[in-house]
Amino acid sequence: MPSVNISSPINNLYRDNQFWLRGWLYSRVGCSETAADLAQDTFLRLLKTGNLPPSGESRRFLTRIAKGLMIDAYRRQKIEEAYLESLSLMPETFIPGPEIHHVIIETLAEIAVMLDNLPDNVRLTLLLRQIEGLSYADIAKQLSVSVSSVEKYVARGLAACCLALESY
């Protein structure tokens, strides 16, 4: 059986900060279970990346990671709420089963992250074209840019979508 080094830097970081981090998170999310989950996810992120904070920067470092995880959780919650609302408007025969629900929410969350990583003009142009179905000329007029710019923005947005699909 492999030995466990209980005095490793990550173990010390966890031991010294996990209670504090859970309290800090609780003060922001108002739910002890969510705070505990986010604290665990923060330390899991550290384990996955292997990045440890510089000496004396532990709490600031942990806070930065935890804030990002809170934003991700909030985004996922909003996506799930919107998805459930859209399901409520559909005939029951079109509603996917519960086994697919998680996959759909995860996919929508990944799409949201990909879109959030696009520059504003590219994201907006792509959404106006793909979701709203506007023509390039209508988008150009609405955004006060040239049709050529709209074409470039859409191409850049679609390229980002293709790259995201390749990573799966």
Which pLDDT tens digit goes with each residue over 130-139? Answer: 888 999 999 9
pLDDT at position 60: 94
Question: Which residues neighbour 38 within 8 Å (Cβ) at sequence distance 6 or greater?
Answer: 25, 29, 66, 69, 70, 73
Name the one residue in this structure whose structure tokens are 């979701």. 131
User: What are the contacts of 7-13 at 24+ separation with CB within 8 A?
Assistant: 9/52, 10/43, 10/46, 10/47, 10/52, 13/43, 13/46, 13/52, 13/53, 13/58, 13/62
The pLDDT of residue 168: 61
Q: Which pLDDT score, from 0 to 100, does residue 39 have?
A: 96
- pLDDT for the residue numbered 138: 94
Please give the model's pTM, rounded to 2 decimal places: 0.68
Cα–Cα distance for residue pair 109/72, rounded to 1 Å: 9
Degrees, nearest 5: CA angle 141-116-163: 95
What pLDDT shows up at residue 14? 92
For residue 150, give the amino acid letter. Answer: V
For the chain, percent helix, then strand, then coil, each to nearest 5? 80, 0, 20
- Tell me which residues of the chain have a pLDDT lower than 50: 1
